[in-house]
Amino acid sequence: MLIVAHTIVSCHRLLDAVELLEEDSRIQTVFTVPPDAFNRGVTRRLHQIGALVLPWQQAIRERFDLALTAAYGGLADLHAPVLLMAHGAGHGKPTRPSGQRGPALATAPVYGLDPQRLTRNGEVLPSSIALATEHELEILRRQCPEAVPVAVVAGDPCFDRLVASLPERSRYRRALGIDDREFVVVTSTWGRTGLFGNWPDLLPLVMDQLPPQRFRVAALLHPAVWSAHGHRQVRAWLRSCREAGLILPDPEDDWRSLVVAADHVIGDHGSVTTYAAALGRNILHLTPGLAAVTEGSAQAAVIAGTDRLDPHRPLLDQLRVVRPIDPVAVAARLTSRPGRANSLLRQAMYRLLRLPEPGRHRRPAPVPEPRLRPEHPA
């Protein structure tokens, strides 16, 4: 089985899926890193976890019984049945025409469910497409009907693990040194429309306005931010914030424990904000508006159902009057198969491998406990 890890983000998602069958002694799992603008650090991360990594040029010469991927580049070069997963909170972003700057139009085709990425010369590239919701299946039927026969609504494995981690909330908070303080997570997707790219002074403002005796603050930056600018540069830009106590995890770290531990999340239209809303966290958002997301998506529900942060007003006052969002409604747009993603993905992979599925699938496991680095004293 070949795991095609384009970026750190897709690598996180794929590792959840790999764990569902890598213990099977009939299966040898190998990884590869395709060419990608944001693949910096992926090979290093794979070596850190002890994965067997093949160079991309070797991987596309070999034949495999299954290839697992959460991105679109190089699909036509693979010699294997391909299972394609989403790498974020569903398919919530519209496509952007070549050369267009700024957010794409919400009326544009939904990214990842369009023929441009799923087909080549009229042929559907993936052998199976794992969708999160029935709504996504309807979009696929409208945009790329030829791909519908290979689609399976399998739910969202990331959301299932977040739910499984909720009982560990107190343990995560102890590991982060939060004590009885309120925990604020600031999260940003990548690009000019992301919080960090569009409002670079927000994190210093947050650190300045929230007293450390009452608040602990963390920043979760999209791995593409780190890849585009470099770890040294990102840490330099945020040096004063880190010195003031900001928790700044590396992009390779599992971000989910921080979202489970959070009381408040300040975010944009990225996946982390969406998952946080589905867990019932207090949300303040800074986004370009509904034009940045697709109609009917979980991201659209979050933007429409939460308050927009005003950077020119006192932050503490805004945190105290946050409009609550219905987490059940957001979760319903994230998954149509709550709690079942592991079993459905496992079935899909064994079907493509043409192997009988052994034993019982495991329940979603809580995510690992966060680890503070020396620069993050409690």
Residues 190, 192, 198, CA angle at the centre, nearest 5°? 100
Where do the structural domains in the chain lie, given as residue ranges?
2-158+336-353, 160-333
Give the percent of the chain with pLDDT over 90: 86
CATH topology of domain 2-158+336-353: Rossmann fold (3.40.50)
> What's the number of CA atoms in the CB half-sphere (13 Å) around residue 37?
7
Tell me the chain's radius of gyration from C-alpha atoms.
Answer: 20
How many other β-carbons are positioned within 10 Å of the β-carbon of residue 222? 28
Burial class (CB in 10 A: 0-12, 13-18, 19+), 167: exposed
For residue 77, the 8-state DSSP code is: G
Closest to 16 in 3D by CA, of 49, 53, 56: 49
Alpha-carbon distances of 95 from 24, 112, 193, 318, 357, rounded to whole Å: 38, 8, 14, 33, 37
Q: Are 71 and 114 in contact (CB under 8 A)?
A: no
**pLDDT per residue as tens, the chain (378 positions):** 999 999 999 999 999 999 999 999 999 999 999 999 999 889 999 999 999 999 999 999 999 999 999 999 999 999 999 999 999 998 988 986 554 455 555 468 999 999 999 999 989 999 999 999 999 999 999 999 999 999 999 999 999 999 999 999 999 999 999 989 999 999 999 988 899 999 989 999 999 999 999 999 999 999 999 999 999 999 999 999 999 999 999 999 999 999 999 999 999 999 999 999 999 999 999 987 777 889 999 999 999 999 999 999 999 999 999 999 999 999 999 999 999 999 999 999 999 999 999 987 778 999 999 988 766 565
pLDDT for position 288: 77
Kindly report, residue by residue over 46-79, the tens digit of the pLDDT: 999 999 999 999 999 999 999 999 999 999 999 9
Helix locations, 32-129, DSSP H: 42-48, 56-59, 115-118
CATH topology of domain 160-333: Rossmann fold (3.40.50)
The number of angstroms, rounded, from the C-alpha of 231 to the middle of its chain's C-alpha atoms is: 19
pLDDT for position 139: 96
What is the reported pTM? 0.94
pLDDT for position 378: 56
- State the Cα–Cα distance between residues 248 and 81, nearest whole angstrom: 39
- State the Cα–Cα distance between residues 74 and 60, nearest whole angstrom: 9
Burial class (CB in 10 A: 0-12, 13-18, 19+), 243: exposed
CATH topology agreement for domains 2-158+336-353 and 160-333: yes
How many other β-carbons are positioned within 10 Å of the β-carbon of residue 182? 15
Instruction: Give the pairing type, strands 119-120 and 123-124.
Output: antiparallel
Contacts of 350 (CB under 8 A, 6+ apart): 21, 356, 357
